[in-house]
Amino acid sequence: MDARDLEEEESAREVLARELRRLREVSGRSLSELADEAKYDRTYLNRLENGERLSRRDVMVALDRIYGTGKLLVGLWTLARRSAFLDRFRRFMEYEEKATVMHKYMMAIPGLLQTEDYARAVLSSSPTPISPALVEDRVVARMGRQELLKRTPPPSVRVILDEAALRRSMGSPEVWHGQLSHILIAAEAPNIAVQVLPFSAGGHDLMGGSLTLLWMGDGSAVAYLEGNRSGDLIDDADEVAQLRLSYDRLRDMSLSLTDSVAFIQQVMEASTP
């Protein structure tokens, strides 16, 4: 991504803020009147118009409805929320939003399956102090990514969770219990398959990182290898094919879908507050 693209994406948040203010002023509404109509706090709406906060998608849906702007604000919000992600992750997100098939091997709970409370706990755990407002913006951005699971038709998703992801709790016992319950509910969806790779499966060539394989509607594919502080987007067909073989071996080493659900249930029961 060149500097101009980065500047355009970073300015999307400012464009959204200006448009929110413009639409309200053109409509003749005061902030208090809009707050009463939209059922959102006046101070919160003011922060959105000043670009101080990044809203949730449902807020933009409500305001698009009030202003009669179709999906204008939702579209601007989609661009603006990308500014909350690191640059190395943004190209991956562009592919992810278009993918029809996703295969993931994760050493941690993937963002697409995180609850809001769990995401907040994870994003607040940085050793470098982060302001509460920035944490909330990143939570909103992460939750926004989950909108792609609601597409029509939705993507086909298979997630292999390393047992380590299920043994390392985050947040309070209630937050962790809620997160495990959320994974079980997600696994009931017809387009989502969740498997567990147990410690007993032994070593493999993807140890120490996470892998995502994405297939587009035209059959092309990319891979994303991610470590703790690094990420590598791969579009070379031969490399992607090799990584797919690695993934297929992990799938064969993992518990069945039924046994995986039972495993997660056992972990959840053991962690019941």
pLDDT of residue 86: 52
Q: Where in the chain is the domain with CATH 3.30.870?
A: 87-270
Mean pLDDT of 34-52: 87
Looking at per-residue confidence, does 180 or 6 come out higher? Answer: 180
pLDDT of residue 70: 92
How distant, in Å, are the alpha carbons of 163, 167, 178 from that of 268?
A: 13, 10, 9
User: At the topology level of CATH, where does 87-270 sit?
Assistant: Endonuclease; Chain A (3.30.870)
Q: Where in the chain is the domain with CATH 1.10.260.40?
A: 3-82
Calpha distance 196→162 (Å, rounded): 6
Nearest to 271 by CA among 162, 118, 102: 118
pLDDT of residue 84: 55
Residue 248 sits at the vertex; the CA angle it makes with 169 and 260, to the nearest 5 degrees, is: 40
pLDDT at 14 over 60: yes
pLDDT of residue 56: 80
Calpha distance 74→62 (Å, rounded): 10
pLDDT at 4 over 80: no
**% of residues, the chain, pLDDT over 70:** 92
Look up the pTM and report it.
0.70
pLDDT of residue 6: 39
pLDDT at 263 over 80: yes
pLDDT of residue 157: 97
Mean pLDDT of the chain: 87
The contacts of residue 260 (CB under 8 Å, 6+ apart) are 161, 187, 194, 195, 196, 254
Sorting pLDDT into bands at 50, 70 and 90, what band is 78? confident
Most confident segment among 19-23, 100-104, 216-220: 100-104
pLDDT at 186 over 80: yes
pLDDT of residue 85: 56
pLDDT at 226 over 70: yes
134-181: pLDDT as tens digits: 888 888 888 888 989 988 999 999 999 999 999 999 899 999 999 999
CATH number attached to the domain at 3-82: 1.10.260.40
Most confident segment among 12-26, 37-51, 120-134, 154-168: 154-168
Looking at per-residue confidence, does 226 or 110 come out higher? Answer: 110
pLDDT of residue 163: 96
Calpha distance 170→121 (Å, rounded): 6
